[in-house]
Amino acid sequence: MKKIEFDKPLYIAAHFGFTPIEAPAVSNEDLRMTEDCEEKVEKTSGRFLCNAPEKAAFIRHYIERKLAELPHPLALSWRRGHNYSLELVGYPVGVAEAKLIRTSLSILSEEGYKGLVVEINSIGDKESIQAYERELSNFVRKVGHSISAELKKLFKEDIFAIAKAEGEEAEKLRKEMPPSVSSLSSASRAQFKEVIEYLEALGVDYRFAPELVGHKNFCSEALFAVRDDTEHLLAAGYRYSRLSRRFGFKKELALIGATIFGEKKPKERQVYKEAPKPKFQLVHLGREARIRALPLIELLRSSRIPIYHFLGKDKLMAQMETADRLRPPYLLIVGQKEALENTVTIRNVESRAQDTVPISNLPSFLKHLPF
């Protein structure tokens, strides 16, 4: 991939393992292919939760640039205008959503936003979405006598518009509509539970938002948004694996992305010519260790200590093969014992000597290690 000069948001994203690339151009073919995914409700903020043409452009870019030949899972980022995109390919549920949310919050916090809150919801898999469509249709029929002709027309075009339409009438309906989580299949319910577990491990403020439903023709599973203390929409993310089928994939490509909405008139930004150069690699062993990994990465990022990490890989052998290739001087090991005791074991790769320290002391300990 072409080497990209990147600014502070992309530099922060690099701490979380995102590689910056050129922004994929949206073609007329991408627009045509996703005509049935167009949002029917125009937000006054000019910020849409979902943007199918941009996601289609990335899938096309993935195919044309033969990104499938790169080691997976993939974490990529780019800037388009004043917005930033974070995209993950091949990441498992839970860690993917948490990685996007943690990265988005770090970028927004560094940009000076206060009172950040994560809104979260799930529409589930195809089975869940079909069940929810039926639930919404039944609800609209029951209250149809009191709905204006304008809203009836909107709901006929897209029943999910009930969760997005603006105005006093729509707001009243939203308070009474059935939530999508009540229609989740058992598999989707388990996946959403895992996403919530990661959110709680991150220690961020979050709330359930039934109005986050995305678009029924290409979104699936969990969706999230980030707002500040003025309720301004600052970031949004969702899975769009179903869109890959339109490009001929026999099996859905695991795709999830987030958009961070920048200022329309961005301030002058510092440009970085290269990514952070880690001297440590995180090795996680077990589910509990992986859940605790993102808060650890953020702690070190805020202390200006970059580390290699591969949260999309669970197997120890795969992580150690990466360590052999990158040859970091030290490994940061978090297994079940460390996760329970809130510690990290630091191993010198060359001498095999190791120390175990509390996470609260980790930044100071690492900064005093010899290299």
Q: Which pLDDT score, from 0 to 100, does residue 293 have?
A: 92
Q: Give residue-wise pLDDT tens across range 20-68.
A: 999 999 999 999 999 999 876 545 455 667 899 999 999 999 999 999 9
Would you state the pLDDT for residue 39?
A: 74
Q: Residue 135 in contact with residue 183, Cβ under 8 Å?
A: yes
Among the listed residues 304, 238, 256, the one whose alpha carbon sits nearest the alpha carbon of residue 276: 304
Alpha-carbon gap, residue 273 to 294, rounded angstroms: 25
Residues of the chain with pLDDT under 50: 42, 44
Torsion of CA 199, 205, 211, 217, to 10 degrees: -30
Q: Where are the domains of the chain?
A: 6-125+182-261, 134-175, 277-367
With b for 16 or more beta-carbon neighbours within 10 A and e for fewer, the 295-312 pattern comes to bbbbebbeeebbbbbbbb
Q: Which CATH architecture describes the domain 277-367?
A: 3-Layer(aba) Sandwich (3.40)
Give me the pLDDT at residue 277, please. 86
Decide: 323 and 349 in contact? Cβ < 8 Å: yes
pLDDT at 275: 78
State the pLDDT at residue 44: 46
- Give the CA angle between residues 88, 92, 97 to the nearest 5°: 60
Q: Domain 6-125+182-261: which CATH class?
A: alpha beta
Distance, C-alpha 157 to centroid of its chain:
29
